A and B are shown apart, each in its own frame.
Chain A
């Protein structure tokens, strides 16, 4: 158990006596960093959370956005880092399960999953390869079985995740506004535990996740059962249709302790429960274990006596457990009994509200020198360097990953994985676009600019599909917050995200903070992962195939911003340099211009320029369209830069627009009117990717050869090392 001595004395003074063993277990779970956000909560308030489309109701585990015509979209993001680092299959799978139940608890049907995966160096480290392979299988087996498409995500490898894993899962739900659960309860309502049985798995999982990872505590890892989760989804949506649910909460970190206390606290009620009524997987479980078990696929539901019979009928149809474990009282106490004997009796506000911390922060020493660039060895053969980059694990196609995810089920997926952002059709004729992005390399070099960059990149991606950003999810992953230097990076990232969100009026609709991401080897790099949801009222931009003599126009300036780039880190093994920074006004202007151009039907496709810079982004267009191109570097809009920087700088706010040449004049007129920086830089055609510096061709690649390398290298690496 991980209650600090001062927390124990605080608890004693709050309740005026010594806590019982069960109470200690409950408090240790609920006051853990994972459940209480005690280090971060004070600061998270700075994020804007309101907006014209945001529906805020008490007790929701997911963000709710009104998408018009009586429909809502729900969204949430979670991670399952510690469990996945120990047992990647189960850890990743139960990560999916948890976030799906958050979507379900609002009364909406989950319609999409996104996953962001991060591991150590898979080229060198067999353990990293094992973690990667099994985490992907875990997500695939869980999501596929549920029939919820996994439609997007990202995969990244960095030495800072050695012997560790970041598994972030976001989910989106959809439903009718009138079907949203209006969390409420009154005295004598019944508290029902529905779903899988409670066992000895995931004991103390939330505390496990709130320490650095030093031992492999397998009993703290939960066991996945997607089949039961699927039955729960259908049973709960049926119960929702019959209006049987007064309030609902998913059992996640902290198990029953957390679900019961947080429900009581949010609804301002008391709950009396009997652990003997909980359906368990094994006999002789101690009340302490029952209260903190994190067995998966369980939901807590508040209903009343008249509705119970129908609820039980539904559960019987799906053959899932449904136990009345307690009832609602008016005393604001969480009262845990076993038969007649009391094991815990605590005020809910004490349980649900750990004392919030105001931890000290200090700018890390390394940041003073990291901007300085080292003199790098000149590149003698850029074509060869390009092939190396296209084969590198961070840039290579992730088709080996998403090909294992059913991304079509639900028949909503208009833009499929591999596109800049995925797009789903909604029942009201609108479309939802979504993307998650992270960039620890840049966040390490500059925590503030790096975090803003992740946010802007996710926005750019949804904008490329023709969507206007309407909400963001933030997942803030850092090391031990008690290290002032780490906490400083957390605060800087958060402030950056807040500034961007306010400027662009994109509300934060949900998020998660995951701290203590450390192994004995040290902390991870700051890894905020940002999800952005965008809405398309009419039609998304579905990329049309690029053909002979189509034009390539680049929107946005390329700057001297190589810090944290794949080129520096993968090719030159150099960490440092100036991190790309977002000019808010320019960013806004460029986003609007892309949306205007799409709306005026001038473009065949728009592609975001990010990891690997311009050279990689152009190559991706060529490889996916199986066509060559000829680019003049002297036409790229930029201040005077050397070839390396033009090709590989990862400057934000840049877009590659492709179009039929008959639309060129119209597009130029629009771009001039919007006063953005742009250039026609080349044409498509032939079977070679060519970049020219004056008269000299410095990159000359055959499209088919590049494509083969790009598509297959990740799979080959996983399967053959």
Chain B
């Protein structure tokens, strides 16, 4: 079972994600530089957080034109699980794989703090081990993390069950307190909070079990499809 971690110039959570996948969950993870191609037999792809291209123009917008995005689009169409975290989410949105946009936080500041997520969709490859409405204590760290969609799109997202995570309280002014969404098929998931920062008890002062379920969901999904 092979998980690819895509590295863009300026990615900075790639090594953290690698550590969690390999050392905590014993997965076979590999880095893929943004100019490389992804192998056909890959089982899942993660776009980690960071500041691809220094957030120039708009977070994620330049990376969305990287050569590897074409491969990611193909893989997405095949139903393979793809997770974008923070800047990875921004890149998935900018490349059109996920709906909506990410705007500057309401405070106009970078925010690094612990939040609580509520699981709204437990059918995705990254949430299948959760109960609906389960709470996840998890940190955010972003400047452009306010998810925005217009009212019509929001209706569609609700109807098609594309809202995956919501904040339990207002954090940054996101539409409908949305923290993570998926595509219509449910295999591409993007989220602003950082699950890789919350799975180890040593650095998570609250409760590391809920975040671990994000990765355990992937393990179950990959186990089921192999």
| Chain A residues within 8 Å of B, Cβ to Cβ | 137, 140-141, 144-147, 225-227, 230-231, 317-319, 402-414, 416, 425, 542
- Tell whether B19 is near chain A: CB-to-CB under 8 Å: yes
Q: Mark B89-112, 1 if CB is under 8 A from A, else 0.
A: 000000000000000000001111
* Residues A319 and B112 in contact in the complex (CB < 8 Å), given A409-B141, A425-B203: no
Verify if B16 is at the interface (C-beta below 8 Å from A).
yes
**A404 B111 Cβ-Cβ under 8 A:** yes
Q: Is the CB of B54 within 8 A of A408?
A: no
Most buried by A among B10, B51, B110, B112: B112
Given contacts A146-B12, A227-B51, A318-B9, contact A411 B205 (CB under 8 A): no
Q: Could you say which residues of chain B place their CB within 8 Å of the CB of A405?
A: 110, 112
**Known pairs A147-B51, A408-B112, A408-B197; A542 contacts B205 (CB<8 A):** yes
Q: Which residues of B in the span 51-76 have a Cβ within 8 Å of any Cβ on A? A: 51, 53-56
Bound CA–CA A147/B15 (angstroms)? 10
Interface residues on B, range: 20 to 34
Question: With A144-B110, A413-B203 in contact, do A226 and B13 touch (Cβ < 8 Å)?
Answer: no
> Are B9 and A144 closer than 8 Å at their CB atoms?
no
Residues in chain A near residue B51, CB distance under 8 A: 144-145, 147, 226-227, 230
- Per the bound structure, the CA–CA distance linking A205 and B113 in Å amounts to 37
Set of chain B residues within 8 Å of A231, measured between Cβ atoms: 9-10
Instruction: Determine how close the nearest CB of chain A comes to the CB of B53; give it in whole angstroms.
Output: 7
Distance to closest chain B CB from A53 (angstroms)? 24
- A403 touching B55, Cβ below 8 Å: no
Of the residues B15, B141, B200, contact of A144 by C-beta under 8 Å: B141
Minimum distance in angstroms from A249 CB to a CB of chain B? 24
A226 touches B54 (CB 8 A): yes
- Interface: B148 (CB within 8 A): no
Q: Which of B33, B54, B203 contacts A317 (CB 8 A)?
A: B33
- Please state if A147 and B50 are interface contacts (CB–CB under 8 Å): yes
Instruction: Judge if B139 is at the interface, Cβ distance under 8 Å.
Output: yes
B143 within 8 A of partner (CB): yes
Find B203's partner among A137, A319, A406, A414 (CB 8 Å cutoff). A414
Is B120 at the interface (CB under 8 A from chain A)?
no
Q: Which residues of B contact A407 (CB under 8 A)?
A: 112
* Most interface-central of B12, B13, B113 (chain A CB within 10 A): B12
Interchain residue pairs A-B with the least CB separation, the first 5? A147-B12, A227-B54, A145-B51, A406-B141, A411-B16
User: Of B19, B53, B54, which contacts A411 at CB under 8 A?
Assistant: B19
18 contacting pairs across A/B (C-beta < 8 A):
A140-B109, A145-B12, A145-B55, A146-B12, A147-B50, A227-B9, A227-B10, A230-B9, A230-B12, A230-B54, A404-B109, A405-B110, A406-B141, A408-B139, A409-B141, A411-B20, A411-B196, A425-B202
Q: Which of B33, B53, B139, B203 is close to A412, meaning CB atoms less than 8 Å apart?
A: B203
Cα distance, A141 to B141, chains bound together (Å): 12
Known: A145-B55, A227-B53, A227-B54. A409 touches B113 (CB 8 A): no
Residue of B nearest to A406 (CB): B141
- Give the residues from 1 to 60 in chain B that come closer than 8 angstroms, CB to CB, to chain A: 9-10, 12-13, 15-16, 19-20, 33, 49-51, 53-56
Query: B166 on the interface (CB 8 Å rule)?
Result: no
Contact A225 B110, beta carbon cutoff 8 Å:
no
Residues of B within 8 A of A318 (CB): 9
Check B110–A140 contact: CB distance below 8 A.
yes
Bound-state Cα–Cα, A145 to B141, Å: 11
Q: For the complex, what is the distance from the CA of A140 to the CA of B143, rounded to whole Å?
A: 10
B203–A411 CB distance below 8 A: yes
Please determine whether A227 and B56 come into contact, CB atoms closer than 8 angstroms: yes
Q: Which residues of B contact A408 (CB under 8 A)?
A: 112, 139, 141, 194, 197, 203
Shortest distance in angstroms between B127's beta carbon and chain A's nearest beta carbon? 22
Chain A residues in 8 Å Cβ range of B15:
410
Q: Given A231-B9, A403-B109, A411-B20, 13 more contacts at CB 8 Å?
A: A140-B109, A144-B143, A145-B55, A147-B12, A147-B13, A226-B51, A402-B112, A408-B139, A411-B197, A411-B200, A412-B203, A414-B203, A425-B203
State the CA gap A147–B87 with chains docked (Å).
Answer: 12
Residues of A close to B202: CB separation below 8 A:
414, 425
Q: Which residue of chain A has the shortest Cβ distance to B14 in the bound complex?
A: A147
A409 pairs with B19, CB closer than 8 A: no
Across the interface, A409 reaches (CB within 8 A) one of B13, B53, B55, namely: B13
How far is B53's CA from A225's CA once the two chains are assembled, in angstroms?
A: 11
A670 to B35, CA, bound (A): 62
Please report the C-alpha to C-alpha distance between residue A318 and residue B15 in the assembled complex, in whole angstroms.
Answer: 17
CB distance from B4 to the nearest CB of A (A): 18
- Determine the chain A residues whose CB is within 8 A of the CB of B113 once the complex forms: 403
Q: Which residue of A lies closest to B17 (CB)?
A: A411
Shortest CB–CB separation between residue A469 and chain B, in angstroms?
A: 23
Q: Flag if B9 contacts A403 (CB, 8 Å).
A: no
B residues less than 8 Å from A416 (CB atoms)? 205
